[in-house]
Amino acid sequence: MRKPDGKIVLLGDMNVGKTSLLQRYMERRFPDTVSTVGGAFYLKQWRSYHISIWDTAGREQFHGLGSMYCRGAAAVILTYDVNHAQSLLELEDRFLGLTDTASADCLFAIVGNKVDLSEEGPGEGGQEGGQGPGLAGGDGCAAPRLPKQVQPEDAMAFYKKILKYKMLDEKDVPAAEQMCFETSAKTGHNVDLLFETLFDMVVPVILQQRAQGPPQTVDITSSRPPARTRSGCCA
């Protein structure tokens, strides 16, 4: 197996939909999932690059593994559930610190998932939302359901906190509006947009990492992550 050129890691509390987002993008479906054990990855070819996308376990008992998965990451997708405010707070309290091992140029995407369940979210309708910016990409035709607990402004405020935590200047990194997404793994809303926006952004980071010396990505040919099977840890 070819060694990946770069790595993207999904982080976030249990049940926010990390595995579902990845399966929606890679397998174009929304299967039943079981809570992830450890971590698992997919390999995606994007242009001439091979990018590994790591799904991690949100459960507290696997927390210690998070910084290992983040080592050398070119991008981290910090995922929360738009209908569960605590899941955004957890990103700041429990998950942001895990990204200390990521690449110095690491990009951060903030993703509010399960937007199909909220009153302001888009309705059902298959893979949609491939156009337009992440936060402006909703088509607003939902049947009323749950009151949305997290607003796009909350996610953008968190993005700015990340920049502060990383001591990055706003003018040196992508704008919050570009990096905050609302998605539905169930309907596919904005899922392609999320991953493909990130892939395009990650390519320059990969080139930068190459220019700086040997890659820091985990060598998946020599390390042995827990096996992923259709009914296994990633399903």
Residues at the site binding ligand GTP, with contacts judged by CB under 6 A: 12, 14-20, 33, 35-36, 57-59, 113-114, 116-117, 184-186
Binding-site ranges for Mg ion (CB under 5 A)? 18-19, 36
The SS3 assignment for 220 reads coil
Per partner kind, with CB cut-offs from 5 to 8 A, the member of Mg ion, ligand GTP, none near residue 215 is none
Sign, CA torsion 176/106/210/27: negative
Minimum CB–partner distance for residue 24 and Mg ion (Å):
12
Number of Cβ within a 10 Å radius of residue 184? 31
Smallest gap from Cβ 182 to ligand GTP, in A, equals: 10
Q: Which is nearer to ligand GTP, 35 or 208 (CB)?
A: 35
Give me the least distance between CB of 216 and Mg ion, in Å please.
25
| In the block, residue with structure tokens 């596919």 | 188
CB nearer ligand GTP, residue 76 or residue 205: 76
Beta-carbon contacts of residue 63 (< 8 Å; ≥ 6 apart): 94, 98
Q: How far is the CB of 56 from Mg ion (least distance, A)?
A: 8
DSSP-based three-state secondary structure for 86: helix
Exposed, middle or buried by CB within 10 Å (0-12, 13-18, 19+), for 34? exposed
Contacted by 209, from ligand GTP, Mg ion, none: CB < 5 to 8 Å by type: none
Report what 75 binds from Mg ion, ligand GTP, none; CB cut-off 5-8 Å by kind.
none
Distance CA 32, CA 231 (A): 10
Residue 91: CB minimum distance to ligand GTP, A: 12
Q: How far apart are CA 196 and CA 211, in angstroms?
A: 23
Q: Which is nearer to ligand GTP, 116 or 154 (CB)?
A: 116
Question: Which one, 173 or 233, has the nearer CB to ligand GTP?
Answer: 233
Give the residue with the Cβ less far from Mg ion, 7 or 203.
7
CA-based nearest residue to 71, from 41, 103, 105, 49: 103
